[in-house]
Amino acid sequence: MRITTWNVNSIRQRQAHLLDFLREEAPDVVCLQELKTTLETLPRAEIEDAGYNVAAVGQKGFNGVALLSKHPIEDVREGLPGDESDSQARYVEGVIAADGGVVRVASIYLPNGNPVDSEKYPYKLAFMDRLVAHARSLLRLEETLVLAGDYNVIPEPRDAADPAAWEGDALYLPQTRAKFRALLALGLTDALRACDDAAGRYTFWDYQAGAWQRNKGIRIDHLLLSPQAADRLDGVTIHKHERAKEKPSDHVPVTVRLRG
């Protein structure tokens, strides 16, 4: 089973790239973030014509997450538990039964958190606390679980081309990284790092200052695996070529392969 995460940075602007990716790579499941659209304007028919079922949470102009699956999506949860007042579209979860077995998958768009001296950073930290609590409850189910998405977290210095440039940024602050480690400490595995220990494995290049041309990237898109999923891990691919296309997302897809 192949599961991809991709912050498309506006599904309507990146619709052609998405449909090309579905046709060329044909992953079993795709976790999308930053749809930037409501469900009414989501290109659902085009995605379904490509052979995928859709479960999504939309929001006009901001946020938005989706699960695309070649197989039916069941037990759908919209929104991260722990704060009923949170109206931001940042979490969707579902159970998918495929030929390779049953897997629970979540698409997560974790808050950016900048500027750190605003209410946005406490919201980010609180969201991460809620994610830790929910992940703990999911792990008790002892299922094949993949928590995928744009975490807006640079876990380690090797995950940035220029770590010093990110000091003081919400993506790299010690508190942010500590809460990410708290997720891993629950028993989750960072899929990429389980397969590849090298520096320079980036998933995001800013549109500004020639970041792509200079390879000034960061790794903030992650797939975290339960022990049951980690036991099936067969590899991870960063689809870097997507960033070189015309009018690309500033993120690229990342795919994990799980053995049947």
Binding-site residue positions for Mg(2+):
7, 34, 150, 152, 250-251
Q: 115 preceded by cis ω (within 30°)?
A: yes
Annotated binding-site residues read 7, 34, 150, 152, 250-251
Known catalytic residue at 109: yes
Query: Of the listed 17, 28, 52, 109, which one is catalytic?
Result: 109
Establish whether 150 is a catalytic residue: yes
Residue 54 corresponds to which tokens in the numbers above? 């859709």
Q: How many CB atoms lie within 10 A of CB 83?
A: 14
Has 75 been annotated as catalytic? Answer: no
Helices 174-185, 120-139: inter-axial angle, 10-degree rounding: 10
Torsion of CA 228, 105, 180, 165, to 10 degrees: 130
Residue 106, beta-bridge partner list = 93, 147
User: 46 burial class (0-12, 13-18, 19+ CB within 10 angstroms)?
Assistant: middle
Catalytic residue among 28, 91, 121, 150: 150
Q: Which residues are catalytic?
A: 109, 150, 251
